[in-house]
Structure 1
Amino acid sequence: TGATSGIGRAIAQVLASAGAHVFVNSENETACKETCKGICDAGGRASSAVCDVSNAEALRKMAHAVWRNAGRLDMLFCNAGVTGAKRIGDAGYEADVEKIFAINLHHARLLCEEILPEMAKAGGGAAVLTSSLAGLRGNAGIGVYSLTKAAVAQLARDMAVRWGPKNVRVNAVSPGLIATGWETQILREKEAASRRLRMTPLRRIGQPEEIAAAAVFLASDAAGFITGHNLIVDGGTLITDGI
């Protein structure tokens, strides 16, 4: 999900380059078609799976349609997410809560409900859920977002325990500051950019392809004995004292 920009698109491209038939999700049909065209032009295989993931009924229908078309699914990547503009306690912030939870958390929960049992029946599979460094630290400015991302990592652990006996692995990946649209905007402020780079031992921001590589690894046979893990890909931000 969320496969037409940033990390999601990078995951789709890496998977396709490895030979997978990728089902590209976004609520934007044009963006889905453009992403699929780019993958196919590069020699890969991709199909659109247009859906607003905040709509539970539409999401379930999409999951069933993709399964019917594919015959089986070996990997599931739940990546769609939004941040919201208000802090917890700000006037009117409650209006954002339902949407942020629906997109960031509940869409992943619903797809796990629909897809993982089918993977189990087919002999196994793997799912990777995009969490965030924000779910591991206190965040005054994006509190609702960070709540959902902490819950996504817990969802991965819970699903790993439930479906592990059926050979279905579930992991999460937690990116730090990555060169995607909204995070690039943060770095346009010189003071904010300097502060974030001081907090990152590698002294740079990450690239979507680096998160894609981590996510695809978690879903691959190379990670066959890894489940319930939250892989932090942040250039060392979480471990540093900022010096």
Structure 2
Amino acid sequence: MTMTGKRILLTGGTTGIGRAMLIAFARAGARVVTLGRDAAALDEALEVARACGGELHGLTADLARREDIARIFDAVDERLGGLDILVSNAALGADPIDAMADEAWRYVIDVNLVGALACTRGALDRLGKGGQIVVIGSISADIHAPGESVYSATKAGLQAFAETLRKEVEDRDIRVSLVEPGTAGSDMQQADADEQRDRIARAEMLRAEDIAEAVSFILTRPTRVDIVSLRIEPRVQALS
């Protein structure tokens, strides 16, 4: 199968894994609406990806805001005329819960979990037979590393959501895949760019492109193939 001409909503396509997926989808000739909170990062990602091909549209939006969810799907309807694929990727990092202000940890949950569910709800109104949903989770849902209490809770929620949703929509011929990356180079990492390159060279960290390639693999399988879950780690994964 091919992604050429496929209508994709990609959340969080401005940095890290999302940016790598945006570029991969552009190279594959897809039609994409993506979004991010930072206008400058969005413009930069779109400029790079548009040089690779495809048809790309972007908007600044915050998944914690109901009105922005509505704007996202207005853009999907206007720019794409429907939807074939949702790649739910947008997420924020977090500190331990007792190191965050009340409004801060609640905001992370609203973006990472509630916003992801809201986008899925909007996508299901538009996906027909053969539609696909890819949820980008994290191995944090299982390894429960110290310092990640809030982040792990959101990713565990996404894990349960994706695995249950798959059963709920199978009679509609909609496939749901959960991708759970290990440590991957991105702007969410505390390590700077030089340290990330060193850790990638030591096989302690994945490249964002590694995840983008895996998602592209999922989205190009024939309809008889269902990639239910895919856990991807660097060879030397801490706390695995």
Does residue 1:209 correspond to 2:209, yes or no? yes
* Aligned residue number for residue 3 of structure 2: none
Does residue 1:113 correspond to 2:121, yes or no? yes
Please say if residues 116 and 163 of structure 1, whose CA atoms lie closer than 8 Å, have aligned partners that are also in contact: no
Structure-2 separation of matches of 1:33 and 1:12: 12
Structure 1 residue 45: Cα displacement: 2.1
Structure 1 residue 182: Cα displacement: 3.0
Among residues 42, 52, 56, which one is paired with 2:66 in the alignment? Answer: 56
Indicate how the Cα distance of structure 1 residues 2 and 224 shifts in structure 2: closer, same or farther if over 3 A, else same: farther
Structure-1 separation of matches of 2:155 and 2:71: 25
Indicate how the Cα distance of structure 1 residues 138 and 118 shifts in structure 2: closer, same or farther if over 3 A, else same: same
* Aligned residue number for residue 7 of structure 2: none
Alignment of 1:75-90 (within 5 A): 75-85=85-95, 87-88=96-97, 90=98
Please say if residues 179 and 207 of structure 1, whose CA atoms lie closer than 8 Å, have aligned partners that are also in contact: yes
* Aligned residue number for residue 151 of structure 1: 157
Q: Which has the higher helix share?
A: 1
* Aligned residue number for residue 137 of structure 1: 143
Indicate how the Cα distance of structure 1 residues 172 and 186 shifts in structure 2: closer, same or farther if over 3 A, else same: farther
- Helix, strand or coil: the match of 1:119? coil
Please say if residues 60 and 110 of structure 1, whose CA atoms lie closer than 8 Å, have aligned partners that are also in contact: no
Indicate how the Cα distance of structure 1 residues 158 and 187 shifts in structure 2: closer, same or farther if over 3 A, else same: same
Structure-1 separation of matches of 2:170 and 2:70: 23
Root mean square deviation of aligned Cα: 2.8
Indicate how the Cα distance of structure 1 residues 92 and 8 shifts in structure 2: closer, same or farther if over 3 A, else same: closer
Structure 1 residue 91: Cα displacement: 5.4
Percent of aligned pairs with the same amino acid: 26
Structure 1 residue 183: Cα displacement: 2.1
* Aligned residue number for residue 108 of structure 2: 100
Indicate how the Cα distance of structure 1 residues 222 and 234 shifts in structure 2: closer, same or farther if over 3 A, else same: farther
- Helix, strand or coil: the match of 1:95? helix
Structure-1 separation of matches of 2:68 and 2:33: 16
The TM-score, its normalising length taken from structure 1, stands at 0.83
Structure 1 residue 158: Cα displacement: 1.8
Q: How many residues are treated as equivalent by the alignment?
A: 229
Structure-1 separation of matches of 2:100 and 2:80: 43
Q: One-letter code of the match for 1:59?
A: I
* Aligned residue number for residue 175 of structure 1: 181
